[in-house]
A and B are shown apart, each in its own frame.
Chain A
Amino acid sequence: DAGVTQSPTHLIKTRGQQVTLRCSPKSGHDTVSWYQQALGQGPQFIFQYYEEEERQRGNFPDRFSGHQFPNYSSELNVNALLLGDSALYLCASTSRGIPRGYTFGSGTRLTVV
């Protein structure tokens, strides 16, 4: 049973560019959340998608946007990249039937130069 799959695993981008990160939730899960983890810090909530809608958003600028597809997979888009966007981006999935149990992927390490 595949868990949460994220791609790519590593990525290097230049300031000002745009990036798209992808996440496939665990089989049977329909809700996807995205977190940003800066080096040496705990993850920070970006947003959550359920039924193809953004349900809740953390304190992140509009440069961060997302999408959820009918197959429950999700994308995180970041525009106009800044050096400070360098971080590990984690995707987590769950389902209504699971009592507050989130399964995390191994993340995408984004480096902005």
Chain B
Amino acid sequence: AQTVTQSQPEMSVQEAETVTLSCTYDTSENNYYLFWYKQPPSRQMILVIRQEAYKQQNATENRFSVNFQKAAKSFSLKISDSQLGDTAMYFCAFMKHENFGNEKLTFGTGTRLTIIP
């Protein structure tokens, strides 16, 4: 079974600064995907960024980037130029590669991020 650990329950940062959220995972699989999801007070899970394990290049999406260390089983999220709208719960998630229709996401316990004006 896979596990995902987020060791930072809460973080806060000043607006416009950079913040890094940590995530580690445990798996014996070699082919998998990693995700960061954002959950604002509206409750909807919003995909922030996705990383395929077979890709060595770290994924980036505008102000969001990851540091994927496969050997260390680490997957951190860096938010640059943080904005007030980034305030939310952030969840790291793991998905083992399976035949379509048989996949599931395993989530960590989340990090509550607050951007201070």
Contacts and interface: CB of A to CB of B under 8 A. Distances in A.
A45 B6 CA distance: 18
Contacts of B103: 48, 56, 100
A92 interface: yes
A31 B50 CA distance: 19
A68 to B, nearest CB: 11
A51 B99 CA distance: 14
Contacts of A45: 104-106
Contacts of A103: 47
A43 to B, nearest CB: 5
A50 B105 contact: no
Contact of B46 (A40, A55, A96, A104): A104
Interface residues of A, number: 30
Contacts of B75: none
Contact of A42 (B102, B104, B107): B107
A104 B45 contact: yes
A41 B109 CA distance: 5
Contacts of B98: 56
Nearest to A47: B104
A105 B109 contact: no
Contact of A107 (B37, B44, B93, B101): B44
Q: Which of A56, A58, A99, A109 gathers most chain B CB within 10 Å?
A: A56
Nearest to A101: B47
Contact of B44 (A35, A40, A106): A106
Interface in B1-56: 4, 33, 37, 42-47, 50
Given A42-B91, A42-B110, A50 B100 contact: yes
Interface of B: 4, 33, 37, 42-47, 50, 91, 93, 95, 98, 100-110
5 tightest A-B CB contacts, nearest first: A42-B107, A50-B101, A104-B45, A45-B104, A106-B44
Given A45-B106, A50-B100, A88-B43, 9 more contacts: A40-B109, A45-B104, A48-B104, A50-B101, A56-B103, A101-B47, A105-B44, A106-B43, A107-B44
